[in-house]
Amino acid sequence: MRKYEDTYRHKGLRKKLMDTLRAKGITDEAVLEAMNNIPRHFFLDSALDEIAYEDRAFPISEGQTISQPYTVAYQTQLLQVRPNEKVLEIGTGSIYQASVLAEMGAKVFTIERQKKLFDKTKDFVFKSRYNNIKFFYGDGYEGLPTYAPFDKVIITAAAPFIPPKLIEQLKTGGKMVIPVNEGEHQRMLRLTKNADGSYSEEAFDNFSFVPMLSGRNGGN
Ligand code: SAH
């Protein structure tokens, strides 16, 4: 059984990481406060304990990664999450991004296509602290029609195109933050849904994500 400890050293490293994020241009204090409250090292293999607060992505399992803290902060800031909003996340991965949204008071619905990663969510260390996260095994391209519409949608994998069903499942005025392929990298886009079902688009910086794949992988 793994022992989870959040020491003064971890807390100190975390504060420093928040200063790094501020220096890189993150200004939303609600995002920084949420990230400062969450022990990121709990979401990584215990062997990575010492380096968990470096501003970089790390491998989790099934060839996937926990996003770089800067990327998490950037996407969360663009999403403009407010307490009690319904947020759909595509790509549960390590559950770190979902936890940041939950810490900010959102009702989080998160989908993972890798069965082994989904199965790990049953042992999530913050299951009761973040009882506002619901986990789903499925294909993110389909979204969650049963729980729609959502105030916000966040995609944490590189999308080859904007999935039409996810636009459908947004409320009017709702926003989607999505990294869309553009050559080697992805361009971060924020889409806002209009009353007629169309959307307007704002473009931000380039990032590098693992691919958003279709279908489920493993199990049924
Ligand atoms: N949000 C995660 C980042 C994980 S990396 C975190 O905070 O750790 C992206 C994740 O998206 C991977 O776990 C990958 O398996 C998943 N993914 C890729 N395509 C998907 C799809 N179509 N539906 C659901 N999850 C998908």
Mean pLDDT of the chain: 96
- CA–CA separation, 7 and 16 (whole Å): 14
Q: With a threshold of 0.75, does the pTM exceed it?
A: yes
CA distance 37 to 206: 27
Atom of ligand 1 nearest to the CA of 157: 9
* Mean pLDDT value of segment 194-200: 97
Q: Quick one: what percent of the chain has pLDDT higher than 70?
A: 99
Determine if ligand 1 sits within 6 Å of the CB of residue 94. yes
Please determine, for residue 220, whether its predicted confidence score (pLDDT) is greater than 70.
no
Q: Which residues contact 53 (CB under 8 A, 6 or more apart)?
A: 10, 13, 14, 16, 17, 40, 41
Task: Name the residue at shortest CA distance from atom 2 of ligand 1.
Answer: 93
- The CATH code of the domain at 57-207 is 3.40.50.150
* 128 annotated active-site: no
Residue 16: band (very low, low, confident or very high) from pLDDT cuts 50, 70, 90: very high
Task: Give the pLDDT confidence of 104-163 residue by residue, as tens digits.
Answer: 999 999 999 999 999 999 999 999 999 999 999 999 999 999 999 999 999 999 999 999
Ligand 1 atom 19: residue of nearest CA: 212
207 ligand 1 Cβ < 6 A:
no
Going from the Cα of 208 to the center of ligand 1, the distance in angstroms, rounded, reads 13
